Chains A and B, each alone.
Chain A
């Protein structure tokens, strides 16, 4: 079974520029998450989708971050304009869906962002 796919793996941009990350979850997984992991810290949830609807985006900095999952499969996370403090690994994860037993969350390898 293929895992969670993310691209690009690495990105370096200047502050105030924009960047977009793409995620393809595990086939059949209804729930998709974006996490931000700053170096030396644990991942922090940014946004959670159930199919193509947003379940929780309370920790997403909406003035600069946006995410969509239009067809309930792939998702894109965008940052515009980027700040130095956005330098982090952006992890996409997926799970089968809410209310299901054995609902393990699987993570992708992450997209490493450096803002200079």
Chain B
């Protein structure tokens, strides 16, 4: 079946630098995409979402970019902090309003002090 994949399983970033986490999705019919952060021993925490009719959305220190042409999603974290260390998942949903998410494997972000 369709699945969401990630380019890199691990990413190490110097504290204060910007982080970019990438994700490739395969279902061109997906309408809605979400980034989740999962800290060790905790459940996934919603970060930011984007609908397929947008190509960019900004939140507090985070930006999600969507390129439907190449089916690529990215999460940019500005001025990365120690507390950003976690596994980041992108998830896709076929129909906005009927959320049923397909998750990728995840990228572990490690912050170097």
Contacts and interface: CB of A to CB of B under 8 A. Distances in A.
Contacts of A40: 105
B101 interface: yes
Interface stretch (A63-71, A80-88, A98-106): A98-106
B46 A105 contact: yes
A4 B44 CA distance: 12
Contacts of A16: none
A75 interface: no
A45 B101 contact: yes
Contacts of B104: 42
Interface residues on A, range: 20 to 34
Contacts, number: 55
Interface residue SS majority, chain A: loop
Interface in A70-116: 91, 93, 95, 98-101, 103-110
A107 B105 contact: no
Interface in A32-67: 40-45, 48, 55-56
B43 A110 contact: yes
B113 interface: no
A56 B94 CA distance: 14
Interface in B55-97: 89, 91, 96-97
Given A56-B100, A104-B49, 7 more contacts: A31-B99, A41-B106, A103-B96, A105-B101, A107-B45, A109-B41, A110-B43
The 9 closest A-B pairs by CB, nearest first: A42-B103, A107-B43, A99-B97, A107-B44, A98-B98, A109-B43, A43-B103, A110-B43, A42-B89
